[in-house]
Structure formats: C-alpha cells, structure tokens
Structure 1
C-alpha cells in the first residue's frame, strides 16, 4: 500500500505481546490478539470484553481506528462484535478491548494470542450541520430497507 500513517503503540502488560499485524500485503485490517491470563470460554448468547494489552496514539484528530470482527471467527463460530464496530477516537489512550458476542450454538474457546478482531484506520470528517426546509430530490427518494431490490 502506498499511503501509510504512524500509529504509536504501547504494550501495557508483557513486553512479549504481539503487535497488530497485517495477514497479507493487501489486508485492510491489522489483526488484534487476545491478551488473557487464562483461557476464556464464551458461551452461546454471552457477551465478553477481551483485552489486547495494547494502547495506541493516533497521529491526529483526522484519523479514527475502527475495530471489526474477523470473518473466520464469525463464519465458523458465530463470534462477532457486540457493538458492531468499535470506534477508537484519536484522544483515547486506554487499553484496546474487544467487545464480543457468541451468537453460535456452541461455546467458543479464546486463548491468549488468538486473533480476535481487526483494526482499520480511516479518515474522519466533522460535519457542519446546515438546517434546510427541503432536501434535493433523488430517484430513490425515501425508499429504504430493501427498496432497491435484493
């Protein structure tokens, strides 16, 4: 990839913690790993908060780190993020923790070092809200939730 940013990262627990890594040269997300004292069993229907042992400093307020589920965990085990997407604001300096939900039918075992989520860095735009009486018309209009077909 041609565009890169510097993200400062701090290991909060063990110096041997794995830093986030990109699985391939074309991966959009860097994998985050669990940092656990002992094996964690996530039962069906259960929500858990999994620590990573890492904190980051983003380069500016124009960058956000977004935490997404890993597709393999979701497809094989029904593990997704409780909050859909985690948002790490540029002024947050605490530990990155991943909120996960087991929507599968079997318990899932998470071990320390397991890749549990992926982190993507995106630009941020702050909107200036302008109140208007009317919005510009479009072909779609107010049609939503399946209005454009399957």
Structure 2
C-alpha cells in the first residue's frame, strides 16, 4: 500500500457536489489551482470568506502556502486580505472544520463581484520549512480557522 505523502481531498460537507481537486495546469507550474466550491457575491469594500471545499494533507515539516491568482486583482478588484494563507500540516482533519481551506478575499472595488462555483481563485504551493534548535512546541491543534489565538 502506498503511503500518503501530500495531496488533496474533498471535505465531507462537499462530497458528491462536483468539487474538483486542485491541480497544476502545466509541468512548470509551482501552484495547484483552487476553485471556489460555491457561487458567492462579494460586496464592495468588504471582506468575504470563500470556501474551496478542499483539505490538504502533507508531511509534518511542510506547509501549503495559498496565494491569490494574479487575475483576481487586476481583472476583478479582489485581493487576499491576509496576503499569503498558511495551511499547517496539523490543520488537516481538525475537529472544527475538517481542515477545509478558505480564502479571505477583500473587494477593493466599488461594485459587487460574483465568483462562480468552479472559478479558479487561488493557487497553493507546498514547501518544506525549518525550525530552530530549541524548538520544543508540544501543543496539539484542537480547532480550525484562527484556533491558535489572535
């Protein structure tokens, strides 16, 4: 049996709802394209959570970095409110939201913007990270989005 190293799964609440797993568009692409799981309208000058219906699993010393697609900004007046999204390895299957990946988008335009279900909105890049010699964190994640404090 092949051991799971890193990849994507659909969260239970979106099973059987035609959610596509993220994939790279070309052999030279670093990022896996994420789609919106629902159609959502973003009001002007407001922040909106947009769900992907996807969770990611990876090795303990890896992180999935989420970036907005460049066309969101110059074509749609949307930006990722928190710059780069960090999906930690222990976010996967957390008890609050199963590790569902959501984007925090800000509509800086003057008009509503509608993102349709299946529209590509972000790209995720897996990468390794390093820790310090005296790192001794032993706290286990018990929740989902923002669960480790403010």
TM over 0.5: yes
Aligned-partner SS, 2:130: coil
Partner of 2:51 in structure 1?
A: 51
Q: Deviations over 1:91-132 (max 9, x none)?
A: 111101111111123221111111111101111111347xxx
- In 1, Cα distance between the equivalents of 2:132 and 2:75? 39
2:114 matches 1:115: no
2:110 matches 1:102: no
Tell me how many residue pairs correspond in the alignment.
122
- Which of these residues, 24, 27, 30, is aligned with residue 28 of structure 1? 30
CA contact (8 A) 2:8 2:22 kept: no
Q: Once superposed, what is the RMSD of the aligned Cα atoms?
A: 1.7
> Which runs of 5 or more residues in structure 2 are unaligned?
93-98, 135-150
CA contact (8 A) 1:61 1:124 kept: no
TM-score by length of 1: 0.75
- In 2, Cα distance between the equivalents of 1:112 and 1:14? 15
Tell me how far 1:21 sits from its aligned partner: 1.4
- In 2, Cα distance between the equivalents of 1:8 and 1:67? 14
Partner of 1:144 in structure 2?
A: none
Q: Deviations over 1:51-83 (max 9, x none)?
A: 11111111x221100000110111111211111
If you compute each CA radius of gyration, which structure gives the higher value, 1 or 2?
1
Task: Summarize the alignment of residues 55-94 of structure 1 with structure 2, pairs less than 5 Å apart.
Answer: 55-58=55-58, 60-93=59-92, 94=99
Q: Which runs of 4+ in 1 moved over 6 A?
A: none
TM-score by length of 2: 0.75
